[in-house]
Amino acid sequence: MIAAPWLPQAASLTLGATAVLVGSGWVADAPRWADGGPLGWDLHRLRGRRLWRSRAFAMLCAAPGLRALGLAQTGLGGWLVIVALAGAPVPLVALAALAMVLAAQSLREAGNAADKLLSIATVGLALIALGARLNQPLLAFAGVAWVGGQLVLAYATSGLSKLRHARWRDGTAVRAALNSYNYGAPWTARLTRHPARARLLAWAIILPEVAFPFALLLPRAALMIVLAGFLAFHGVIARVMGLNVYPWAFLTAYPATLALGAWLRAALGLG
């Protein structure tokens, strides 16, 4: 069940598409990171660490290096997409190269949650693909547990941390944020104008996040509906806040989460 054929293919497709999007974003944004620009490595390296002033770091972290890494990420992502669509085995060499590209990018700039999810999905898919190739179900399961476990942790932590704040519980935080230009839009400001609606929205975010670990116990079709709901939630956030990579990054973790849910239900004798 863990090494079901759809799992590496679906994971490869979502990971590849996300890598294409993130990589092409780096390529398009590279001029801002060029020497002489506002985020140039010539400024960053002044922070004084000896390693950062090395030639190797400069090659990697200056704009040409970032552009090359972005291109490599785009190419590797495209490779994974094509392989998934063709139904061919996932190329481990592409995953190893993608992991190195992601690590190199994180040396330059601390990654956001989407970058971290991409790294996690890459390692997880590598374990799944290696397990399938070597006929080692436990190895594949390690990949499933890594990716699915991190997604569960991400959602649950996010919900619990909101739950701790009175401003989230009474809707003040979500109302204020959605009334800003940075985190909101005109329609979100209208939506949360009334405190009762803001409170309802806050709880509509908090409760599914907190309860997400229990969704793993649902039948596969129901879990898919839950994940589709979360994907729609990320889609709305992407539209409102400009976090365009996040829906894709979370999507990379969904195939493994479905497999983890199936394993959990089987292990607990739920069918």
Partner 1 sequence: MVEALGPLALAAVLVMLALSVRQQFHRVERLEIWLERLGIVPQWKFFGQDAVGWVDDDSDDWHVVARCAPIADTDADTDTDDDAATPWRPVIWIEDRRWYHGLWNPHFRSNVRLLILAERLAMAPAERRPPPDALATLAIARACMARLAPRADQALQFAVVLTIGRSDRRLARCFLSDWYVP
Rounded CA-CA distance 247/118 in Å is 12
Q: Which of 164, 221, 267, 269 binds partner 1 (CB under 8 A)?
A: 164
* Smaller CB separation from partner 1, 32 or 53: 32
* Smaller CB separation from partner 1, 87 or 186: 186
CA 205 to chain centre: 18
**The Cα angle at residue 246 between residues 199 and 151, in degrees rounded to 5:** 80
Pure H helices in the chain: 6-29, 41-44, 55-61, 63-86, 92-108, 113-134, 137-163, 166-169, 172-178, 186-191, 195-215, 220-241, 246-251, 254-267
* Subset of 82-101 contacting partner 1 (CB under 8 A): none
* Subset of 165-194 contacting partner 1 (CB under 8 A): 165, 167-168, 173, 176-177, 179-186, 189
* Smaller CB separation from partner 1, 173 or 224: 173
Rounded CA-CA distance 236/247 in Å is 9
* Subset of 17-36 contacting partner 1 (CB under 8 A): 24-29, 32-33, 36
Rounded CA-CA distance 151/159 in Å is 12
Q: Which of 3, 102, 251, 262 binds partner 1 (CB under 8 A)?
A: 102
Q: Which stretch binds partner 1 (CB under 8 A): 57-65, 125-133, 210-218, 254-262?
A: 125-133
Q: Which of 63, 132, 154, 253 binds partner 1 (CB under 8 A)?
A: 154
Q: Which of 60, 94, 117, 259 binds partner 1 (CB under 8 A)?
A: 117
* Smaller CB separation from partner 1, 222 or 241: 241
* Subset of 183-242 contacting partner 1 (CB under 8 A): 183-186, 189, 235, 238-242
CA 198 to chain centre: 27
